[in-house]
Amino acid sequence: MARALALAQEAAAKAEVPVGAVLTAPDGSTLAEAHNLTRTLPDPTAHAEILAIRDAAARLGSERLIGCTLWVTLEPCPMCAAAIAEARIARLVYAAADPKGGGVEHGPRIFAHSRHAPEIISGIAEAEAAALLKAFFASRR
Amino acid sequence: MARALALAQEAAAKAEVPVGAVLTAPDGSTLAEAHNLTRTLPDPTAHAEILAIRDAAARLGSERLIGCTLWVTLEPCPMCAAAIAEARIARLVYAAADPKGGGVEHGPRIFAHSRHAPEIISGIAEAEAAALLKAFFASRR
């Protein structure tokens, strides 16, 4: 999660919403890492999670990331939560909750409806991730 | 929708789930078209809708596809429905409903929770789109 937080800081430096994600293989090695790039690309689907999933799938040569863990600094939105289910990711670890835009424990609660649901661990480094987001949005007002 | 159905047929010819999508600008001109490519790439996010949205955003140089219409042969899944909301697409027209995997009128009903919801028109060319999917899955059994 420390690496995901560093990626979120890189995003903020590019005026992108500071969210970072790391995908790890079953053996713990890093498969892919990314931060938001929606404005830079521009691509409305270029959230950190989607970019990491696409990169890892290309690297593994498989559309399914069996046994993999996704570490992300913010509760995934509905699009990303559904992509996590599509990719059959085994475990989702996220830092800060997102009551307004989240799709895991808020809003449509994607995994309550999907055929695949990962194990979910939340609240890891929550304060650091939330502080990054708060500072970013405060600086843009 | 005729073009989206032709794209779905192209997908089936590549052993991809036969779903096709076309994105049109406010003036009715085509901005992007795509079909599923999840196995070919491989990329679990490479649904027809996501590929069309990414292509159109790159072409327009904007992460928001204001005023645009997405035509797709199957009810979008939760991932694609949420991407449609992220992209601020104005109108969604789809052919066949998807009671098992759909995220618009089924499952998490994404637009009931999202800050942006498109106008929705469904059932256009429904029989043709459903027949394509049925034949595809029957041929793989």
Q: Helices in chain A by DSSP H: which ranges?
A: 2-13, 48-60, 78-86, 126-139
Inform me whether the C-beta atom of residue A52 falls under 8 Å from chain B C-beta atoms.
Answer: no
Which of B107, B98, B129 shows the shortest CA–CA distance to B2? B129
Number of folded domains that form chain A: 1
Which tens digits make up the pLDDT trace of A9-56? Answer: 999 999 999 999 999 999 999 999 999 999 999 999 999 999 999 999
* Residue-number span of the structural domain to which B31 is assigned: 1-139
Q: How confident is the model at residue A141 (pLDDT cuts 50, 70, 90)?
A: confident
Strands A119-122 and A69-74, sheet pairing? unpaired
Count the alpha carbons within 13 Å of B119 in the hemisphere toward its beta carbon: 7
Which tens digits make up the pLDDT trace of B64-115? Answer: 999 999 999 999 999 999 999 999 999 999 999 999 999 999 999 999 999 8
Q: In the predicted model, is pLDDT for residue A105 greater than 90?
A: yes
Average pLDDT, chain A: 97
The CATH number of the domain holding residue A67 is 3.40.140.10
Inform me whether the C-beta atom of residue A113 falls under 8 Å from chain B C-beta atoms.
Answer: yes
Q: What's the pLDDT at A140?
A: 85
SS3 content of chain B, % helix, strand, coil (to 5): 35, 20, 45
- The complex's ipTM works out to 0.96
- Would you call B86 and A44 a contact, using CB atoms and an 8 Å cutoff? yes
Q: In the predicted model, is pLDDT for residue A84 greater than 90?
A: yes
**Which candidate in A39, A43, A66 is best for mutational testing of the B interface (most B CBs within 10 A)?**
A43
Annotated binding residue A80: yes
